[in-house]
Structure 1
Amino acid sequence: MSNPGDSPEQHQAPLIEHLIELRSRLLRAVVAVLVIFLGLYAFANDIYLFVAQPLMALLPEGSQMIATEVASPFLAPFKLTLVTAVFIAVPYVLHQAWAFVAPGLYDNEKALALPILASSVLLFYGGAAFAYYAVFPLLFEFFTQTGPENVTVMTDINAYLNFVLKLFFAFGVAFEIPIATFLLIASGATTVESLSKKRPYIILGCFVVGMLLTPPDVISQSLLAIPMYLLYEIGLLFGRLARRKKQQREAEEEDA
């Protein structure tokens, strides 16, 4: 609590210190991304080939990926390498964010926030991995086999990159549903019973989100919507477990 005699400069000092620390944390995060990017840039083409492998393995004989713009052979691997650097640096970036906000949290908030933060990172990575290893092979097999016979499949490398990055992001965000569901229940914004009664609307919402975040085809929409609903059920399960644990702790406190 500040004293009435404090000068305006003294009131501004804590704010300036926080801004300086925020700048320092942001600079560290940016430097981490740049360092990882510089280390990966020599492998930019290899990284692109790895990401393109699910489609290239299914292209008809004689087909290949093409570059329709002059700068695409350089810009597509460059863009992917930069996104990969950010992807790898996410734990460190979130650590910097955590170090900035943690001093202002209570002990019980820290105990809850840290596992949620770690789980969010792992779930996002899990969503991206699910898209690459499970969704891409099915999706590209469907696309490459349903075209007209006289049309040769030769995908532009930049268009392909934009397509897969959109799917990576969509599945990464979708896999955060258990965290969002758990937080809604833990914060008291809703209850397990209330969410359970809204299952029909949740299922419809999952398919609407799948329609908005994925390409306009039934397969990719379903491959996103179904895992979203299953993850929603997992969030409800953790919400029930957390509520049961809370009730047991309250009962123990009453007995004591």
Structure 2
Amino acid sequence: MAGAEGEGHIFDHLLELRSRILRGLVGFAVVLAAMLPFANKMYSRLSQPLVDKLPEGAHLIAIEVASPFFAPLKLAFFAAMVVSMPWLLFQAWSFVAPGLYRREKRLAMPLLATSLVLFYTGCAFAFFVVLPSVFSFLTMVTPEGVSMMTDINAYLDFVLVIFLAFGISFELPVALVILVLLGWVTPAQLRESRGYAIVGIFILAAIITPPDVISQLMLAIPMCLLYEAGIIASRMLAPREAAAGDNGTG
């Protein structure tokens, strides 16, 4: 009898999971369908940071025959994923929330909301601050006699990598808070490891950004500030035992 009840609970969970996945996919499909008619305009707006820095007469080009169709479509897919992320996370949250304790629920919602805001902030920072500076540097160092005309697919891939790099990097405070809440580190250990963290941040920035000092600094400096914000937030949210130990070592 107990085995039958267990199988029934598992079946109910599978049905709930399927329902949440379908709702998430439907929401994503609606957003994607709404964005597809504006895919070309979205690509034109996305390419503006580079177009503004190109020499007179230079422009983006399409090397492959189908690139003018697939590049905007790819951008619309990525944009729909980013825009529908709150809905997708809500479906995931609705599935796992019944199995969480009250304290876990109380902490999870602010962490999810903060992670979304930080990801969007990182993408906006990349678009409005980083990309214009990077393209200004790249056009400035272009050798004389070389026409800078970038393929639209190559440009899109480059920009999406930058967006993901900055969006994910801006999640650093949330990652630190989670590590502290799990008990893997303490705020005191994070503070003591600040020097190593700064070195690691600059190494990471040099790896994931274009090969120019400007973009590396534009990623490394905000990450250093976000590391400090993560320490402060972890001290506020850390369990009492960790907080007491932190005060004792401070």
| 2:129 equivalent to 1:129 | no
Match of 2:190 in 1: 195
3-state SS of 1:210 partner = helix
CA distance in 1, matches of 2:131, 2:207: 18
Match of 1:118 in 2: 113
- Long gaps (5+) in structure 2: 245-250
How big is the shift at 1:215?
Answer: 2.9
Deviation digits for residues 189-226 of structure 1 (CA, Å, limit 9, x no counterpart): 21122111111210121122223322333332222122
Instruction: Work out the percentage of aligned pairs sharing the same amino acid.
Output: 48
Number of aligned positions between the proteins: 243
How big is the shift at 1:242?
Answer: 3.1
TM-score by length of 2: 0.92
Amino acid at match of 2:74: K
Deviation digits for residues 105-164 of structure 1 (CA, Å, limit 9, x no counterpart): 111111110111111111100000000011011111001111111111111100000000
How big is the shift at 1:47?
Answer: 0.3
How big is the shift at 1:78?
Answer: 0.3
Q: How does 1:85-234 map to 2 (within 5 A)?
A: 85-234=80-229
Deviation digits for residues 55-81 of structure 1 (CA, Å, limit 9, x no counterpart): 111110000000000010000000000
CA distance in 2, matches of 1:104, 1:11: 15
3-state SS of 1:162 partner = helix
3-state SS of 2:47 partner = helix
Q: 1:70 aligns with which of 65, 69, 82?
A: 65
CA distance in 2, matches of 1:62, 1:120: 42
3-state SS of 2:62 partner = coil
CA distance in 2, matches of 1:9, 1:199: 54
Greater alpha carbon shift after TM alignment, 62-71 vs 209-218:
209-218
Match of 2:23 in 1: 28
Native 8 Å contact 2:134 2:212 kept in 1: no
Amino acid at match of 1:74: F
CA distance in 2, matches of 1:217, 1:25: 44
Deviation digits for residues 160-202 of structure 1 (CA, Å, limit 9, x no counterpart): 0000000000100001001111122233221122111111210
